Amino acid sequence: MAQKLGNYALGKWIEGTDDGELLVDASTGAPIALASSKGLDFGDMMRYARQTGGPVLSRMTFHERGRMIKALALYLIERKDKYYTISYQTGATKVDSWIDIEGGIGNLFAYSSLRRQFPDQPYSIDGDHAPLSKGGSFIGHHIMVPKRGVAIHINAFNFPIWGMLEKIAVNLMAGVPAIVKPATLTSYLTEAMVRDIDASGILPPGSLQLICGSARGILDHVESQDVVTFTGSASTGRMLKSNPRLIEESVPFNMEADSLNCIILGEDAVPGTPEFDIFIKEVRKEMTVKCGQKCTAIRRVIVPENLVEDVQIQLGKALSKTAIGDPRVEGVRMGALAGRTQLEEVREKIAQLAANATVAWGDPNQVEILGGDKEKGAFMAPVLFVQPEPFKYTEAHNIEAFGPVSTIMPYHNLDEAIELARMGKGSLVSSIVTANDQTAREYVLGAASHHGRILMLNRDSAAESTGHGSPMPLLVHGGPGRAGGGEEMGGKRGVMHYLQRCAIQGSPTTLTEVTQQYQVGGAYKDPGQHVFRKYFEDLRVGETVHTHKRTVTEADIVSFANVSWDHFYAHTDVTSLDGTIFTERVAHGYFVLSAAAGLFVDPGKGPVLLNYGLEECRFTKPVYAGMTIGVHLTVKEKVDQETRSEEDIPKGIVKFLVDVYDETGETVAIATILTMVAKRR
């Protein structure tokens, strides 16, 4: 009897029922598990997430969330071997499984590292302040806070681990809990990992829940603060997107749908060039990895008309070397489709594509395998079509066989190649293989409107390229039109999907307190002593040191030119100033900044460990000999840092606003410097 998969809901595991859907091994047809969601109350699950997981996550700072995600990644990577064993049952080879398992965990690592791009606060500040009044006493800003709902992730069958982790990494970083609904077909792999996540105790209760089996009706419980994401077929996505409850509550719906992705062979990439070989390798890989079951897989192979035969021959040779079979058998390079249902669906689409195209290689009904069961398994050989008239017969631009199937089609010039790429009506990704950078530029500018990502491949980038089919955590994954119109991941951009942007208005002093970032014009706070004498914990945003003043001399300007070797004419040659904005010899901007440092630095040994760098710097008014400058040094922002070892000095980064002003009180230079400041031991 197959085991019954569990559902993780309301902080506990709830076993499925005996009449659940039977899940089988994609290679042998052997029973694996029964999946059922009977007995789950989706409304209760969502309330639990909002009331239990949400408040804890939203109170955590971005840095705390990032460290939590990193801890989870380290925990899971130690247990990766067990996931490979289970993954083989989905028909995935070791390489396929590596993309799913370690690629998914890699997303956790990538998002944990993003914490350094956010403030050490539960919220984020978006952009610069907006001056709203003449005198500067009334300003505006934008703050971004975690939504107070739950992220509902409805995932596809082809990546049961990556699909979950690439999404929850983002919502957890934002401070929002999640309910994950993997495709039932391969949910046993997702369930195995969630059991480990639960056992780790790393995530706060209510942060993550899992539904194995049907989630029909879950969208009837969404509220305005929730976010729904969907990965899968465009038809299913459109059906879900039109749910009345989503519309009534104005719930964001992020859709990433399968699309008719393409690759372009540049006219310069003829046989014998590295680019031609790169092209053949990339197409073969995208047809066979995951048995072609990738939303980013290449479906349309667009080549110069005089190279169609060469591409057809070389691709056929490459595909003929691909050993197909049970991924647990040594030597197998392409496994099975995820199930017999998928196999029949792919064969049906192949029959539709064959109406006006020629099969150049492969037979969907004939396959030689190593291991596995040909009758019970879901094996299929790659199928390569040739469509010589792609503008007349458009099946390849409209029908996707979600398996190892691609169509070669010719173009006469680059404009035609761009038009063919656009005929996919919106794709997740396109690639162009060319050594001509001008060709790459023209293609990108012509095709970017219809694609979420474009890869430019040549001999310079191929060795380290992650390839056509690999979305990267810090780049957006999604696309317009047929691809769903959504965006996933994308680094900070992805996190923003789970944050609410709110415009805030008030005095600079009030906004300083709200944002915990000093706003120019805000009240200065008396630190009681020089800020360089205070430990990290003791510093408060807004504390300011008002320095002594210094009069700049011509000797200062000449000496700085000699020391720095900066002999730009405006600093050294008064006879060359006609027609410039300067009326006399002007002090170097970096001299002004250096002189400011001489004024605000407290030289004695103290909690300040080192200068960490400049974040921004502007010189706003010329400084001439005879002018007198002073500095307001203000604590602008504090960023905590975790210790990396017992020997590491506890410390944080303090951003100081350096406002250099002249004898009239007008700012002549303004900069943000970063210092590393020790904590109390």
For the stretch 203-216, pLDDT in tens is: 999 999 999 988 88
471 vs 439, more confident: 439
Mean pLDDT for 334-342 is 89
Cα–Cα distance list, 558 to 564, 576, 591, 626 (Å):
10, 16, 11, 14
Mean pLDDT for 313-342 is 90
For the stretch 506-556, pLDDT in tens is: 999 999 999 999 998 899 999 999 999 999 999 999 999 999 999 999 999
Catalytic residue (choose from 166, 191, 256, 282): 256
Domain ranges of the chain: 3-122+146-256, 261-465, 524-678
State the pLDDT confidence band at 573, using cuts at 50, 70 and 90.
confident
State how far the Cα of 486 lies from the Cα of 471, in Å rounded to an integer: 14
**Residues in Cβ contact with 19 at an 8 Å cutoff, skipping those fewer than 6 apart:** 34, 36, 38
CA angle in degrees (0–180, nearest 5) for 92-3-39: 110
DSSP code at position 679 = P
For the stretch 180-207, pLDDT in tens is: 999 998 999 999 999 999 999 999 999 9
Question: What's the pLDDT at 49?
Answer: 96
Question: What's the pLDDT at 405?
Answer: 94
Whether 256 is catalytic: yes
**pTM score, whole prediction:** 0.87
Judge whether 69 and 116 are in contact, CB under 8 Å: no
681 has pLDDT over 80: no
Going by CATH, does the domain composed of 524-678 fall within 3.10.180.10? no
State the pLDDT confidence band at 1, using cuts at 50, 70 and 90.
low
Question: What's the pLDDT at 385?
Answer: 94
Give the number of other Cβ atoms within 10 Å of residue 574's Cβ: 15
**Residues in Cβ contact with 457 at an 8 Å cutoff, skipping those fewer than 6 apart:** 275, 278, 279, 282, 431, 432, 433, 434, 465, 468
Percent of the chain residues topping a pLDDT of 90: 66
Q: In terms of CATH, what superfamily is 261-465?
A: Aldehyde Dehydrogenase; Chain A, domain 2 (3.40.309.10)
Question: What's the pLDDT at 255?
Answer: 86
649 vs 269, more confident: 269
Whether 488 is catalytic: no
648 has pLDDT over 90: no
For the stretch 430-449, pLDDT in tens is: 999 999 999 999 999 999 99
Mean pLDDT for 134-163 is 91
Catalytic residue (choose from 282, 291, 295, 400): 295
Cα–Cα distance list, 162 to 134, 157, 250, 470, 676 (Å):
52, 11, 28, 11, 37
Question: What's the pLDDT at 172?
Answer: 96
Q: What is the DSSP code string of 492-505?
A: HHHHHTTEEEEEEE
* Average pLDDT of every residue of the chain: 91
In terms of DSSP H, where are the helices of 452-582?
492-496, 508-515, 554-564, 569-572
Closest CA to 85 of 147, 32, 36: 32
State how far the Cα of 170 lies from the Cα of 525, in Å rounded to an integer: 37
CATH code for residues 3-122+146-256: 3.40.605.10
For the stretch 386-395, pLDDT in tens is: 999 999 999 9
Judge whether 265 and 279 are in contact, CB under 8 Å: yes
